[in-house]
Amino acid sequence: MTILEMQKEILRLKKQRNILVLAHSYQRREVVEVADYTGDSYALARYVQNATAENVVMCGVRFMAETVKILSPEKKVYLSHAEAGCPMAEQLDPELLISLKQQYPSAAVAAYINTTAELKTLCDVCVTSSSAERILSKLPQKEILFIPDINLGRYIESKLPEKKFHFIQGGCPTHVRATAQDVARMRELYPDALFLVHPECRFEVVQKADYVGSTSGIMDYAKQSAATEFIIGTDNSIAEHLQYECPQKKFYPLSKDLVCHNMKLTTLPDVLNCCTGEGEEITLSEEVRFAAKQCIDRMIELGG
Ligand code: 13P
Ligand code: SF4
């Protein structure tokens, strides 16, 4: 089958079997093209709340498919590729989190949404890169134990000086590859370009940016900006999607190493496989689902 034939077959199956295909912004171009909705982690979680489809194929990584299942237990939820996990989501052992909670008993426990369902059961609230500042500013607690991404955590800490943060040494193995030297090199090569960055990058990289935001935030900013050149500090698919959508502008990846291999695992044949009902269906025990849902509900309540 050609790419086009496969895309047509996916579109036919979506209609026939009442399937919603969701794609995170880092997915391959040909996958995004067959998705009903593409966005950042927060937008995907919000979108699924009002979706009426019986089946959902989540093209992204495991915690994203789990979030869909947590919010919509009545739907059959498929993860586009069974091996697609977010390494950061599994960095913290639940036992260690239990002991950290004992160490900081007055702190609210805030989990980046890039965590397993099991870890979420131990947290008070979830956040995403686009909603963290808004949500954490509204918490009554002054102290916050933020897991697992220390880079996002440090960025939010800089925005909320009234809060006291505790971190662990977690983070994204992809975004950590970008360095301050990469920024200096690219700024020298493209002096007129604006530098847009994801807050999962090292804090010293984030501090050099003209705009800091989620994957959707970066895309919206670049599309709306009057500027015509941009250095993109996140997975390189964002520069690629923007180049398709804004052919009159120029997008330069901050580093060739900014590639999330987990996000790239999903291929069009994987999506087709899920649409025929053969992919991995997400299952969660009702106990875990219910407990994990509390902190996602709180995210939506405070995040708006
Ligand atoms: P966004 O919420 O910005 O889409 O981030 C998710 C993610 O995993 C980025 O690495
Ligand atoms: Fe996880 Fe990083 Fe990949 Fe995002 S880019 S899914 S945080 S490994």
As a whole number of angstroms, the distance between CA 146 and CA 127 comes to 10
Among 130, 152, 263, which residue's Cα sits nearest to residue 201? 152
Other CB atoms within 10 Å distance of the CB of residue 150: 20
Q: With the C-alpha atoms ordered 40, 41, 43, 49, is the resulting torsion angle positive or negative?
A: positive
State the pLDDT at residue 46.
86
State the pLDDT at residue 268.
98
Q: Which atom of ligand 2 is nearest to the CA of 26?
A: 5
Q: Which residues line ligand 2 (CB under 6 A)?
A: 61, 86-88, 114, 172-175, 200, 235, 260, 262-263
Q: Separation of 88 CA from ligand 2 center, angstroms? A: 7
- Residue numbers of the chain with a pLDDT score lower than 50: none
pLDDT, tens only, 98-137: 999 999 999 999 999 999 999 999 999 999 999 999 999 9
Locate tokens 């998705």: which residue? 35
For residue 165, the one-letter residue type is F
- The distance in angstroms from the start CA to the end CA of the chain is 43
State the pLDDT at residue 222.
98
**Ligand 2: which of 81, 86, 218, 257 to mutate, most ligand atoms within 8 Å of CB?**
86
Locate tokens 């950061």: which residue? 88
In degrees and rounded to multiples of 5, residue 136 shows phi and psi of -65, -30
State the pLDDT at residue 45.
85
Q: Separation of 137 CA from ligand 2 center, angstroms? A: 25
pTM assigned to the model: 0.95
Cβ contacts of residue 148 below 8 Å, gap of 6+?
88, 89, 91, 92, 111, 112, 114, 115, 168, 170, 171
Q: Would you call 36 helix, strand, or coil by DSSP?
A: coil
User: Is residue 193 a contact partner of residue 230, using CB atoms and an 8 Å limit?
Assistant: yes
For residue 66, the one-letter residue type is E
Other CB atoms within 10 Å distance of the CB of residue 155: 24
User: Is residue 89 a contact partner of residue 264, using CB atoms and an 8 Å limit?
Assistant: no
Q: Which atom of ligand 2 is nearest to the CA of 88?
A: 1
β-bridge pairing 19-24 and 55-59: parallel
Q: What distances in angstroms separate CA 248 from CA 224, 238, 239, one per listed residue?
A: 13, 16, 13
Q: With the C-alpha atoms ordered 298, 301, 302, 304, is the resulting torsion angle positive or negative?
A: positive
Q: Which atom of ligand 2 is nearest to the CA of 24?
A: 6
Q: Separation of 301 CA from ligand 1 center, angstroms? A: 20
CA angle 181, 182, 186 (to 5 degrees): 115
Locate tokens 């996140």: which residue? 234
